[in-house]
Structure 1
Amino acid sequence: MAASSDNMENINSALCEISKEKLTNTHLTTLQTVTKALRDEQLRNSVDREALGNLYAVLSRLYVDFHHLMEMDSQEEGSLCYKLTAECFRAHRNACVQCTQNQCCLRDLGSIKLSFEILAKLLKISSGGSNDIYDALRCGVQFLGNIAVGNQLCKDDIWELGFPHIFRDLLELPDEKAVSYTCMVIHTCLDEHKTEQLVKDTQQLKLSLKIMDLCRSLPDVDWTIFIATQHFLKSSELIRKMYTEMTNDARLTLLELILAQLGVAEKEKDCLMPLSVAQFLASCFTDHCRAVLTLSSESSDDQAAMVVIRLLDILCEMTSDCKEFMALQDHAGLLSTTVDLLKEVHLLGKTSKNVFTAAHDFSLTRPGGADTHPVFGFKAQLIRLIGNLCHSHIVNQDKFEPDES
């Protein structure tokens, strides 16, 4: 079957056979040919509704076969069915590439709903770790990604059917490609309204927390970073609720991401997040900053202290003449808390030999020397924040009286 615009009749005939006959490897070869043909832009744009309807009929047939396979537990027939399902999803995926007409047609036929029903069944049997099953899952998610691009109706359908449970189940898969493709779909579908849905209850919030966890555990998956920076950070309510539920490890991941993105936003002259997020982080610092003092003890909680250190780093960046966040100069208690903490750190370093002592020798406590200790430069950052909060701010300058001790 030649991959050209004049073989539509042959494609239709072949697809009709697959939807009605007992499945064989010959049908797999036929589907692979259809998938390849749909890579051609000219043919893809000329595909008629009948061909797409036949393609949908094949997917429907495969869905029905899942019921029989689960009852018979036939490994050989199962493998062929999974391979055919993956290939059928590939054909669907290729049909949707930059083709709104095909996206809308497949949506009207019910391909999105059917795809989620198949994905749900595949997820139930994925624990066996069969590569054929994972391949079908990957291709199914890729199809959802392609049908969603540039098509708001498809995005809304996918979100309604996948959020939050199927998305979360897909993100729990021990398959990095499937997880990456799922994050791609979530990123494509997300908008301001859908982001706000993430905070409605515990189940929704779990999805956002899982995505943040993937930022740490799968650093090579860029889609998680895009979701966090382009959507999560723009919602102060979501950031507040996530931060409250997070472990200190997870908080550090979020804070490191914010710190990195502040530098990017500064270069691009783009506001990364609303002022309300910055104000929340400032409150977290003022409420918990004394946790850093535990670093003077051998039995300290490094993670809680590191959270304070990262919060300070972020506040320093935000108040470094960044007009979107300079309202932090008026944040209740931020200046006085920072001054008091500097005094405590200075006094603690004078009263006993510890990490806050001016004449450090960290070689005995941490390999690599002083500059590898998490508290390195902490006092300098406190002074920097005080300077930033007082810069061109007469009221704060009048409040601040340096300690002469």
Structure 2
Amino acid sequence: MGSGRRALELTFDCGWQFCLFLKTQYRNLDTIGVAVDLILLFRELRVEQESLLTAFRCGLQFLGNIASRNEDSQSIVWVHAFPELFLSCLNHPDKKIVAYSSMILFTSLNHERMKELEENLNIAIDVIDAYQRHPESEWPFLIITDLFLKSSELVQAMFPKLNNQERVTLLDLMIAKLTSEEPLSKDDITVFLHHAELVASTFVDQCKTVLRLASEEPPDDEEALATIRLLDVLCEMTANTELLGYLQVFPGLLERVIDLLRMIHVAAKETTNIFSTCGCVRAEGDISNVAEGFKSHLIRLIGNLCYKNKDNQDKVNELDGIPLILDNCSVSDSNPFLTQWVIYAIRNLTEDNSQNQDVIAKMEEQGLADPSLLKQMGFEVEKKGEKLILKSIDTPKP
């Protein structure tokens, strides 16, 4: 190994000589195989000398450039590079090598090769890890958002094998796709319906892990954080009208959300814990900041699932969810979003639903619902004979 390294140092005492060699030989497609072999040798030697590191980078740039917009070259690069080159380079400590190998992967992938990637999930996971380590790098981001998230089969196969940090990263990019200014295309919607099934089923199965955070000394629980991010994704998915209908009838989802809200609400009343702290909903931050908004997002999801859906409106009533939601409305400057989502949920629960309106009207008469809060929601209770009516307040026009 030592003599081989010395030979390389003599041959490539300046990395640009390697780059010049590649440029003069690029028309000979056999050069692709030679370049890949040399790159893998560089990785095996774990080069640190700047000239050799430069040659390493130049070799990857060469492969990326020659594969760009040329299907024949892409096929040859893929035959020689997959999977060893990507397994060797995507986790390299040098961020340029990570970026260049990501460029090659993005340029070379097509529908057929995505199938091969499903059989080599370590490469897909390495891309997510690369984005975690280098969030400013464009290529790993594009691979995930423009390719991975458009393959429900890959995401379904990969998700169970991700650790919790990797899951959070993938779910964050799913949120970015859902909230982008560019709306989802018809093809995107088809794929995201499969993503919705994965996210909803995982949340239903694992959501109670969040209760661990209510312990006296809450752990740095990455599993709970991943579960919280599942809820964030569900909120954004149900904000999309084309995904909403599917999730409104997803088995057990609404029941589990109400059940979890009740358990967290009871835990917050019984002891001082992470869910007792007032705080705003934040997309980023440490576990305590994210958990502070968890209750708000549960109520938001209930409101979304009940939007113009009589069956879900009635189901929330049957599960005594209306008093639970109203009891969670604490007016506080430090937590304005909680009140807003309660207002939103109650409006969706009472829209064209006289039975739910009657429940709230009776609560107001019994002193269980704050009249000022109802007014803030745009409602007031009026008594007609022996009957209480919850009616909308006419807002004067400006």
TM-score (structure 2 length as normaliser): 0.72
Please state how far the C-alpha of 1:335 moved relative to its aligned partner.
0.9
Q: Which residue of 1 aligns with 2:18?
A: 85
Q: Which residue of 2 aligns with 1:385?
A: 301
Please state how far the C-alpha of 1:371 moved relative to its aligned partner.
11
Instruction: For 2:175 and 2:7, locate their aligned partners in 1 and report how far apart those are by CA, in whole Å.
Output: 53
Q: Which residue of 1 aligns with 2:212?
A: 294
The yes-or-no answer on 1:341 pairing with 2:263 is: no
Instruction: For 2:92 and 2:104, locate their aligned partners in 1 and report how far apart those are by CA, in whole Å.
Output: 15
Select which of 166, 172, 177 maps to 1:261. Answer: 177
Q: Which residue of 2 aligns with 1:28?
A: none
Please state how far the C-alpha of 1:361 moved relative to its aligned partner.
6.7
Instruction: For 1:130 and 1:354, locate their aligned partners in 2 and report how far apart those are by CA, in whole Å.
Output: 52
Residue correspondence of structure 1 range 206-221 to structure 2 within 5 A: 206-221=122-137
Select which of 149, 157, 162 maps to 1:233. Answer: 149
Residue correspondence of structure 1 range 350-361 to structure 2 within 5 A: 350-357=269-276, 360=277
Instruction: For 1:361 and 1:269, locate their aligned partners in 2 and report how far apart those are by CA, in whole Å.
Output: 34
Q: How many residues align?
A: 312
Q: Which residue of 1 aligns with 2:72?
A: 153
Give the 3 Å change call, closer, same or farther, for CA 389–258 of structure 1 in structure 2: same
Kept in 2, the 8 Å contact 1:196–1:235? The answer is no
Structure 2 gap segments, 5+ residues each: 280-285, 325-398
Q: Which residue of 1 aligns with 2:337?
A: none
Q: Which residue of 2 aligns with 1:176?
A: 95
Which is further off, 372-381 or 313-322? 372-381
Give the 3 Å change call, closer, same or farther, for CA 112–383 of structure 1 in structure 2: same
Instruction: For 1:382 and 1:372, locate their aligned partners in 2 and report how far apart those are by CA, in whole Å.
Output: 16
Give the 3 Å change call, closer, same or farther, for CA 258–122 of structure 1 in structure 2: same
Instruction: For 1:277 and 1:371, locate their aligned partners in 2 and report how far apart those are by CA, in whole Å.
Output: 24
Kindly indicate which of the two structures has a greater share of residues assigned to helix.
1
Instruction: For 1:352 and 1:335, locate their aligned partners in 2 and report how far apart those are by CA, in whole Å.
Output: 26
Please state how far the C-alpha of 1:213 moved relative to its aligned partner.
0.4
Instruction: For 1:302 and 1:278, locate their aligned partners in 2 and report how far apart those are by CA, in whole Å.
Output: 24
Instruction: Write the letter of the residue equivalent to 1:387.
Output: G
Give the 3 Å change call, closer, same or farther, for CA 295–319 of structure 1 in structure 2: same
The yes-or-no answer on 1:117 pairing with 2:33 is: no
Kept in 1, the 8 Å contact 2:9–2:52? The answer is no
Instruction: For 2:287 and 2:124, locate their aligned partners in 1 and report how far apart those are by CA, in whole Å.
Output: 35
Instruction: For 2:274 and 2:288, locate their aligned partners in 1 and report how far apart those are by CA, in whole Å.
Output: 12
Give the 3 Å change call, closer, same or farther, for CA 71–199 of structure 1 in structure 2: closer
Encode CA deviations 1:340-369: one digit per residue, 9 max, x unaligned: 111111111122222223xx379xxxxxxx
Encode CA deviations 1:373-401: one digit per residue, 9 max, x unaligned: 22112112111111111112222223221
Instruction: For 2:70 and 2:250, locate their aligned partners in 1 and report how far apart those are by CA, in whole Å.
Output: 42
Classify the secondary structure of the residue corresponding to 1:353.
Answer: coil
Encode CA deviations 1:77-132: one digit per residue, 9 max, x unaligned: 23447542222224457xxxxxxxxxxx533xx2222222222233232x241222
Instruction: For 1:353 and 1:71, locate their aligned partners in 2 and report how far apart those are by CA, in whole Å.
Output: 64
Instruction: For 1:177 and 1:244, locate their aligned partners in 2 and report how far apart those are by CA, in whole Å.
Output: 29
Please state how far the C-alpha of 1:166 moved relative to its aligned partner.
1.5
Instruction: For 2:63 and 2:3, locate their aligned partners in 1 and report how far apart those are by CA, in whole Å.
Output: 25
Residue correspondence of structure 1 range 18-29 to structure 2 within 5 A: none
Which is further off, 186-195 or 393-402? 393-402
Q: Which residue of 1 aligns with 2:57?
A: 138
Classify the secondary structure of the residue corresponding to 2:118.
Answer: coil
Encode CA deviations 1:174-224: one digit per residue, 9 max, x unaligned: 221121111011001112221222222xxx111111110011111121100
Please state how far the C-alpha of 1:301 moved relative to its aligned partner.
4.3
Classify the secondary structure of the residue corresponding to 1:306.
Answer: helix
Kept in 2, the 8 Å contact 1:89–1:136? The answer is no
Instruction: For 1:116 and 1:285, locate their aligned partners in 2 and report how far apart those are by CA, in whole Å.
Output: 43
Q: Which residue of 1 aligns with 2:197?
A: 279
Q: Which residue of 2 aligns with 1:327?
A: 246
Kept in 1, the 8 Å contact 2:254–2:305? The answer is yes
Please state how far the C-alpha of 1:321 moved relative to its aligned partner.
3.6
Instruction: Write the letter of the residue equivalent to 1:302.
Output: D
Classify the secondary structure of the residue corresponding to 2:179.
Answer: helix
Please state how far the C-alpha of 1:316 moved relative to its aligned partner.
0.5
Instruction: For 1:301 and 1:213, locate their aligned partners in 2 and report how far apart those are by CA, in whole Å.
Output: 20
Instruction: For 2:109 and 2:82, locate their aligned partners in 1 and report how far apart those are by CA, in whole Å.
Output: 11
Classify the secondary structure of the residue corresponding to 1:374.
Answer: helix
Classify the secondary structure of the residue corresponding to 1:194.
Answer: helix
Instruction: Write the letter of the residue equivalent to 1:185.
Output: I
Instruction: Write the letter of the residue equivalent to 1:287.
Output: D
Instruction: For 2:148 and 2:3, locate their aligned partners in 1 and report how far apart those are by CA, in whole Å.
Output: 40
Instruction: For 1:183 and 1:243, locate their aligned partners in 2 and report how far apart those are by CA, in whole Å.
Output: 20
Please state how far the C-alpha of 1:239 moved relative to its aligned partner.
1.6
Instruction: Write the letter of the residue equivalent to 1:379.
Output: K
Give the 3 Å change call, closer, same or farther, for CA 269–237 of structure 1 in structure 2: closer
Instruction: For 2:5 and 2:222, locate their aligned partners in 1 and report how far apart those are by CA, in whole Å.
Output: 52
Give the 3 Å change call, closer, same or farther, for CA 234–189 of structure 1 in structure 2: same
Structure 1 gap segments, 5+ residues each: 1-66, 94-104, 363-369
Give the 3 Å change call, closer, same or farther, for CA 371–250 of structure 1 in structure 2: closer
Give the 3 Å change call, closer, same or farther, for CA 72–311 of structure 1 in structure 2: closer
